[in-house]
Amino acid sequence: MKPEHSRVPSLPPPPDPQHADCRGVASILARVGDKWSVFVIMMLFDGPKRFNEIKRMISGISQRMLTLTLRGLERDGLVTRTVFPTIPPRVDYELTDLGRGLSQPVIALGMWAQQHQAEIESARARFDGRKDAAE
């Protein structure tokens, strides 16, 4: 009797330690790079706000999307939610120290996007024109 399966695959090599955190970083960037998260962080930069105040400040966000965004930011430790025992209850949202640390680069990114919006729209139009001509 001869063994038929003598070639057994070896275990895959361990992940490169330099890339081990990619998934963790990617999930954080997905949160802080989300357009609604960017807007919420920008709106909370100068102090606590109530839900409807934030909703009025961010054009186009639905109540559900704002709720989900605030919940996600709270889960990640970037925003705190404080309920005041009044009638009706008052709820304030505020950046944590971690969130305030993130607000500077987020605001810089938002300002960069506003300043370069026309240039980017022109580049898109040129690209789309070339793409249509090639087809």
Does residue 31 fall inside a structural domain?
yes
pLDDT tens-digit series, residues 42-78: 999 999 999 999 999 999 999 999 999 999 999 999 9
Number of domains in the chain: 1
Does residue 70 fall inside a structural domain?
yes
Helix, strand, coil % over all residues of the chain, rounded to 5:
60, 10, 30
pLDDT confidence of residue 32: 79
Containing structural domain, residue 86: 22-134
Does residue 55 fall inside a structural domain?
yes
Does residue 56 fall inside a structural domain?
yes
Q: Which positions of the chain have pLDDT values less than 50? A: none
Instruction: Return the structure tokens found at 83.
Output: 């309920």
